[in-house]
Each structure stands twice: as structure tokens, then as C-alpha cells.
Structure 1
Amino acid sequence: MAGSFKTEGVVLRSIRFGEADRVLHLYTEQRGRVGAVAKGVRRVRSRFGGRLEPLFRVALVLHEGRGDLCTVTSAETVHAHPALRERRASLGRATQACEAVLRVFDSAEPNRPAYNLLCRQLALLDARPEAATRAQGLAFRMKLLLAAGFVPELAACSACGDREHLGAFSAAAGGVVCPGCEAGAFALDQEAHGFMVSALGQPLAEAPLASEPALRQTDRAIAETLEYHAHVRLPRLG
């Protein structure tokens, strides 16, 4: 139905369109994923200024017409995250977070936990340069799995329910598995298992530490879970 609506959102991606416009991929608080056109935004005297660049959190008024894309009629900055743009590592992690949300949440259905998680991640990376680590990026992705409904079983064998000797991971089975159910699984050591549990349980700003081998195993577990259950491929975190 045609009409205007207000929502807060994060600009995930911006693509040039025509001579002066941009197509925006937004993740919004009230509508989930939204595509929108910002008309004239690339002109020097655009009324939007620089408020519709990727990573901006903005309060929007969008007009919904008959087509697939809304039209941005108003945009006010909620948080520009200026500091993270000046640090290569922070900018990289923020871009990875937005790309993950873009790929995992592709429908116009609101998901407040996912939206709030993304906002917290961008604010954290803006405020704390030391947060731009691989471990913190993986902790964000673990929480993203939870928000999306794809969090793996970590407390017991996802195939038989056994709570002992959980030393492997199977995306097909839905999480960690015991030796009797590990066909097709890959080895997951105790440190990686513990990291995944802690990443889900601790605040985003208190991401646990782990060795590189444990982080690689966690990265693989997340990637295979999303590929198997959501049919989404995310680049591994370096």
C-alpha cells in the first residue's frame, strides 16, 4: 500500500544509480530489510548531505510506492560512527558486520534483536579501537546466529543428546556431536567449544579470547551452519 512511514535504520550498502541517485540497502528497526532510492543524494547541494553513507544509523521517513524500492524523503543522523571510519581495522570489522546482516536477513520482517545487535557492534567499534579483533567479530557472528534462529546446539550432542566427549561439529546435525555421531563432522577442540559458549553468554563488549586454531574452528562452524541451514555463504574472518 502506498504511503509514508518512519523508521530508524542502518545503511548497509550504497550503490550508484543514474546520474545523481543512490540505491540503499537498509536494515531497519520496524521493517527489517528495506531497499530505497535516495534521489539527488550525489549532488553537491543534496539536502541529505553525507547522512546516507554506509554505516550511518539514521532516522528515516520513507515513501512506499508501487515498486520494489521505497524513496527516502527525510533522513536525520542518529549515529555517524565517525571514529571507526578513521581506523582501517575498525572500518573493516564494521563493514563485515553490515555485510553479514545484509546476507543473513534478506526479508522485510523486523528482527529487533538483530537490529539492536548491529547497532551495538557499530557503536562498540566506533568507541573502542581495540575491539576490532577476529575474536570479537566471531562473537558478533555467534550472536547473529542466535538472532536469526540458527544458533547451534552446544550443550549436548545434537544427534543423540549425549553430554560427554563432545569433540566434533556437524552443521547437518545442528551443532556439536559425540564420537558415535561424528560421521561427516570436523574436529572441534575444547577451546573452540568454550569460545562459542562464552561468545553467546557474554556481552558483546566482553568477547572472549582464544588461540588462532580455536578461532579458525569457530569460523568454520559458523560458516557451515549458515551455509547448511540458511543457504548463505559468508567470507571467513581474517
Structure 2
Amino acid sequence: MAYLRSQNRSGAIPAGPVPADSSDPQVIFPGPMPGSYKTEAIVLRSIRYGEADRVLHLYSATRGRINAIAKGSRRPKSRFGGRLEPYFRLDLVLHEGRGELATVTSAATVAAHPELRSNGPALMAAARGCDAVLRLCDSEEPNPPAYNLLCRYLDGQEPPSGVSPFPVVDGAAGQATALAFRLKLALTAGFSPELSSCARCGESDGLVGFSGAAGGVVCAACERGGFELSPAAHRFMVEALGQPLAAAPSAPERDLRQVDRAISETLEHHAHVRLRAAA
């Protein structure tokens, strides 16, 4: 069973069951052999390897980052079909050998997101989201909040009938959702910026700038080396961390550019990670 989590006002991600997608026929394989394990995972990246194989970068609910090889998966009659493409959420059985790559021995679809693949803006949003997880969450330690945040983000690009999707159109609305996702992802990875008081001196009033090196907002006396952060940009960051991803706040594009810079500089200084542009 997977665990779906939703953001509450404090920024925590409480647990709840994740329903499986039964629209895709499951492929039944024998139980795991010795040295094998089962896990649910999302395909972050799929790379052609050799004449018939694929190397997969996976993010697992119970194992964190996994690098694996699916042998023969590109053959026309492969038992894996097309379910090893990016953004698929899968129930997997993997075998750990002596090499660096686990071997995929079975795969069953939990969520395929077929409509996402026919929507250009949604596809780009999914690609950026998976790339952010690939770069920021590189540990083999499980991080259920990060995994479930990514599940929600991908599901939001293709919601059930009657449910409004995340705004993935070009412009401020799509960028706001992408930035809210990145803020929450930074929180799950332990790199959330300080937003309540000056990251240098602790002053809680007159917060007028942001310093990636200091790791958060700064007051006028400590602003040297930072950049201006408008009240609207500061408010967006606070509200984005405290609201569900589907209710990401709005802000003018000028302020969202400041938020994007704040997140990027924080992660570059403290996680040593450089993310692609949010939108």
C-alpha cells in the first residue's frame, strides 16, 4: 500500500491511502526471488541502453532513489510494454545484484497519466517536477513526504473527472503551482528557507530582502549580499508552504521571479543543487 499525503497549515504532510489506477491491466509475475524486493516507484527518467534495454531513474516510496535496468524492455514483445516511460507510477519487483543497478523483474501500473502526455504545458510541468526530485532527492533513504508530494503533483496535472486540474497554462498561474511544489519539496528535503525572521540576526521586523547564502529573509541591516524581496513574494512563500498544493496562492509575475530566485539560490548554497527554470 502507498501513502498519500496532503499539506496542512503547518506544512506537514499527513498520511492517507492512495488509490490505485485500475484502468491499466496489471501484469502478473511470480513472487520475488531471494535478493529481490517490492516497492512502489515513479519513473523520473528512462534512458535507452544498448540494443534492447532501458536504464531507469526511479523514486520509491520505501527506498528513495533507485537506479535500475530493465533488460529487453525495448523489444517489440517485451512483457513490460510501455509502462517504463517517465511519469508512470508502478508497483515493481527489483533484484539487487552485485552491480550498481538493480534489475527490474516485474512492473504493474498504478497510474499511467495518459492524458498528461497529450497536454504540452502539463507534460513540461511534469518533466520539471520529476527533474527537481531527481536533482534534490538523491538519497537512498526513503522520504515518504517527498514521494507523496510528487504523486500529488503528477496527479494534479491529470485529475479525476469533475476535479479542477492544477493551472498548468503558461504564465503566472502555472509558475505559481510549480514554485509552490518546489518550496514544499525543499521542505521535505530539509532545505526550507527561513521566512519568519532575519536569517542572519533573528530580527522579525523590517524583512525587506532575501539571502540564499544566509538561507532566508533578511532585514535592512543585513541585506548586503542579498536581493530585494517584495512583501507579495514573501507572503507567497509563507502561504505556499501552509496551503495544499492544489490551493497554491497567486502573485504577479515580477514577485514570482523573486520567489524563483530565492528558492534557486537557497538550494544552490545549501543543497549544492541547481534546478531548471520553474516555468
Q: Where does residue 90 of structure 2 map in the other structure?
A: 58
Report if the CA contact (8 A) 1:153-1:175 is conserved.
yes
Deviation at 1:129, TM superposition (A): 4.6
Deviation at 1:105, TM superposition (A): 1.0
Q: Where does residue 49 of structure 1 map in the other structure?
A: 81
**Correspondent of 2:256 among 215, 220, 238:** 215
Count of matched residue positions in the alignment of Structure 1 and Structure 2:
237
1:167-182 equivalences in 2 (<5 Å)? 167-182=208-223
> 2:115 is matched by which residue type in structure 1?
A
Report if the CA contact (8 A) 2:183-2:192 is conserved.
yes
* Structure 1 residue 131 corresponds to structure 2 residue 163: no
* Structure 1 residue 12 corresponds to structure 2 residue 48: no
* Structure 1 residue 147 corresponds to structure 2 residue 147: no
CA distance in 1, matches of 2:184, 2:165: 20
Report if the CA contact (8 A) 2:166-2:246 is conserved.
no
Change (3 A) 1:130 1:5: closer
1:1-238 equivalences in 2 (<5 Å)? 3-127=35-159, 128-132=164-168, 133-238=174-279
> 1:86 is matched by which residue type in structure 2?
S
Deviation at 1:130, TM superposition (A): 4.8
Runs (4+) off by over 4 Å: none
CA distance in 1, matches of 2:115, 2:181: 20
> 2:258 is matched by which residue type in structure 1?
Q
CA distance in 2, matches of 1:89, 1:130: 11
Report if the CA contact (8 A) 2:179-2:259 is conserved.
yes
CA distance in 1, matches of 2:277, 2:209: 19
Report if the CA contact (8 A) 2:233-2:251 is conserved.
yes
Report if the CA contact (8 A) 1:26-1:34 is conserved.
yes
Deviations 1:210-230 (A, max 9, x none): 100110000000000110001
User: SS where residue 207 of structure 2 aligns?
Assistant: coil
Deviation at 1:173, TM superposition (A): 1.1
Deviation at 1:131, TM superposition (A): 2.2
Deviation at 1:120, TM superposition (A): 0.5
Deviation at 1:147, TM superposition (A): 0.3
User: SS where residue 233 of structure 1 aligns?
Assistant: coil
CA distance in 1, matches of 2:131, 2:73: 22
User: SS where residue 90 of structure 1 aligns?
Assistant: helix
CA distance in 1, matches of 2:278, 2:103: 34
CA distance in 1, matches of 2:240, 2:121: 20
**What is the root-mean-square deviation in Å for CA atoms of aligned residues?**
0.9
Kindly, what percent of the aligned residue pairs are identical?
63
TM-score, structure 2 as length reference: 0.83
Structure 2 residue ranges without an equivalent (≥5) = 1-33, 169-173
TM-score, structure 1 as length reference: 0.98
Report if the CA contact (8 A) 1:117-1:144 is conserved.
yes
Report if the CA contact (8 A) 1:90-1:129 is conserved.
no
CA distance in 1, matches of 2:167, 2:78: 34
